[in-house]
Amino acid sequence: MPDENAVVGAAFLAGGANVIMQLARPGVGYGVLESRVESGRLERHPVKRTRTTFSYLAVAMMGTPEEKAAYRKAVNAQHAQVRSTEDSPVRYNAFDPDLQLWVAACLYRGFEDTHQAFLGPLRREERERFYQSAATLGTTLQMPAEAWPPDRDAFEEYWTGSLDRIRIDEPVRRFLLDLADLKFLPRPLPALLGRFHRFVTTGFLPEPFRARLGLPWSAGDQRRFERLVAAVGLLVRLQPPSLRRFPYDLLLWDVRRRIRTGKPLV
C-alpha cells in the first residue's frame, strides 16, 4: 500500500478473525486442515507460522516488487503441496485463483475494517485509493491482477455475493474454535490469553461468520468491544507512524535480512 501511514500494527488484534473468515470457504478451510506442509502447520509450529504469515503481509503492503516476487516464489513452493486427495471432503488446490481472490478479499476487508476502527472513517476517495493499492494482497500470492474487482463498489458486490458460499463443517469448526482460544500455544498462554483472544476475535468477525461458527455475541459484548476498540484507537492515533506500524517494519527488516543471507522466507 503506497501510504505506509495507513499500516496499523494494532490490526494484529483482528488476525484471528481474519483467519476464520478465510477458512470459512471450504476449499481454504480443508486446505489448511489437511495440509501436508509440516513446517506450516500452526498447531505444530505456532511461532514460525505466525511469523511467516505476518511477514507476508508486511511484504505485500510495504515491500518492493523484487521482495514481493521473492516471497511469491517461496509461497508457491509451499502451496504446490496443498491440494485435495481422494479422501478430502471437498476439492481444493492452493493455486485456485478463485480461492486466492477470496483470501485476498478477506485480508483487504480486515485491513479496511481495522483502519477505520482505529484511525477513523475513510472518505470515499480515500477508500478507493486504499482499495486499489490492496491488490498486492492477492498478487503477492498467485492471484492474477485482473481477478481483483476493478473498484471498491465492484468489490462490495463480490463480497456480498461470496457470503453465500461460506460454510464451516464440524472438523474445520473445531480447528477454528481452538484457534480462537489460542490452544495451539504452549501452556499457560491459552489459559491466560485465550478468553480475551476469543472475545476480540468474535468482536471483529462480521455476523455471518460469527453465526456459522456458533459464537454467541450479546449487546453487552458489543458495548464492551466498542469501548476496547475506542481505547486502542486513541492510543494508535497518539503514536508516531513509525511506532504505529510496529511490528510490520521489524518483519520487513527480517525478510530483507533473510533474502540477503539466503535464509528461507517461509
pLDDT, average across residues 171-193: 94
> In this predicted structure, what is the pLDDT of residue 206?
95
> In this predicted structure, what is the pLDDT of residue 42?
67
Q: Angle at the Cα of 215 (from 213 to 217), degrees rounded to 5?
A: 145
Q: What angle do helix axes 170-180 and 26-33 make, rounded to 10 degrees?
A: 70
> In this predicted structure, what is the pLDDT of residue 2?
44
pLDDT, average across residues 223-244: 95
User: What is the DSSP track for the chain?
Assistant: ---GGG--GGGGGGHHHHHHHHHTSHHHHHHHHT---GGG-TTT-HHHHHHHHHHHHHHHHH--HHHHHHHHHHHHHHHTT-B--TT-SS--BTT-HHHHHHHHHHHHHHHHHHHHHHH-PPPHHHHHHHHHHTTHHHHTTT--GGGS-SSHHHHHHHHHHHGGG----HHHHHHHHHHHTTTTSPTTHHHHHHHHHHHHHHHHS-HHHHHHHT----HHHHHHHHHHHHHHHHHHHHS-HHHHTTTHHHHHHHHHHHHHHT----
pLDDT, average across residues 223-249: 95
Domain locations in the chain as residue ranges: 4-261
> In this predicted structure, what is the pLDDT of residue 1?
47
Give Cα 140 to chain centroid, integer Å.
14
> In this predicted structure, what is the pLDDT of residue 7?
77
pTM: 0.93
pLDDT, average across residues 126-130: 94
> In this predicted structure, what is the pLDDT of residue 49?
81
Based on C-alpha coordinates, what's the Rg of the chain? 18
Higher pLDDT, 118 or 6: 118
User: Considering only CA atoms, which of 79, 105, 82 is closest in space to residue 25?
Assistant: 105
Cα separation, 17 vs 194, whole angstroms: 14
Q: Does residue 104 surpass a pLDDT of 60? A: yes
pLDDT in tens, 187-206: 999 999 999 999 999 999 99
> In this predicted structure, what is the pLDDT of residue 162?
97
**Which cell numbers hold the place of 154?**
465492484
pLDDT in tens, 34-67: 988 766 566 667 788 888 899 999 999 999 999 9
Q: Does residue 243 surpass a pLDDT of 50? A: yes
Q: How many CB atoms are located within 10 Å of the residue 225 CB? A: 17
Q: Is 186 exposed, middle or buried (0-12, 13-18, 19+ CB in 10 A)?
A: exposed
Residue 5 pLDDT level (bands cut at 50, 70, 90):
low
- Whether the CB-CB separation of 26 and 98 falls below 8 Å is answered with no
- In whole numbers, what is the pLDDT of the chain averaged over residues? 92
Residue 165 pLDDT level (bands cut at 50, 70, 90):
very high
